[in-house]
Chain A
């Protein structure tokens, strides 16, 4: 083979594989539906639940819907990730979902702004349902972007404080902390060193650990994230700097980043029975309401206490609030059966008995104000803490953004850099992160 031909052939062979990476840079979508929801039809519902009790809960929820709507049959597909849903929403086709349910609220802004999910405002209006009076404030907020309500809350998650009551008694602490100063003092009292590691750590403050993400923390500080013009406020809102400062102080006071990271790397799986709170390795844990059932199932040898997370010292009057997030449901823009799909979405998100039944089955916070007060709601008395956090008007969420959760990832990255000591000037770091968030949003427009 002549030299030049071989070069060209080799170059083409190399580049062909690379080019394959780029083949997916194309795609099309379509929308619109004129289906008759009173006729016999089958719709497809994708959700993310996978645990056996959760799958059984979904099955019961759908059985209730099919009983109420005998002409609409639902093909349920579980264990779907957001990435798969996003691809299917773009690709469409006969096997694509008509209704999706996602575990994260971070993608709502992207779902709404791109038109991946249909705006449900006209459908709510037609059905005579007012979302503002149906759903708790924070949940109502995180299911819309720029006036477009392309999602509906389908159960919610409220973040609170789990604490080891037995360890508290041993350390002489009589009640859960209400402010971050009290929390810090308690975390130090609860920390029992063992060599160059810990026998018991009061609290695992690293952002990389478990549920301790920046946005979950910041719910306790009430940040705004964006101003009226959509520009990032993280460099100017003192709540954000306050949250970072509290977390960094905890990291430093409890042993330093390296020591904590080494300890964290040896801890058990977040979703398994060896979760460090359940094994007694960590005495306090920031987590969602689902942790109670998981922790009780693990049968720990201590008593579990539950309380709202602390608030900043100057916001003591707002003790009881928390970070709220949850699962969302929406109708695919590519669906040809949007009227039937709406019947399903309406039932699973606004029918009080359906919402309560599903909440009882999977131990999540009900997502309508009526369901939160329903006498049919069965729960451990400690679960009430999360119901109160969800209904608290000061509870907050992270707002929807045009590029989904990219701004949260940027803040999280700053969190990693600040806690590890890579970034030492917090204000400069916040300014840089705010500029990055604005650039990313401009890029998405």
Chain B
């Protein structure tokens, strides 16, 4: 019985390994989504649409919570950390709004 379980577990592990390798390009970039989405959408919400800070947090919030947030009004930028990755979006001008600047 014990042997059966360990065979099943190692097969499952192998399957996950193959799946992860197969999908590596998706998996490796995935954690960055949280902070890049939050910083970009917050930046545009605050500097382009000119809504309140509270409204912009509500606008950019996702299911996965973020761990750090910095709104730099002087430099018109928004920096967010989530799932271990940090991203910054910067407001450039009225015409061109915000863009992601890190990496």
A binds B: no
List residues of chain A with CB under 8 Å of any chain B CB: none
List residues of chain B with CB under 8 Å of any chain A CB: none
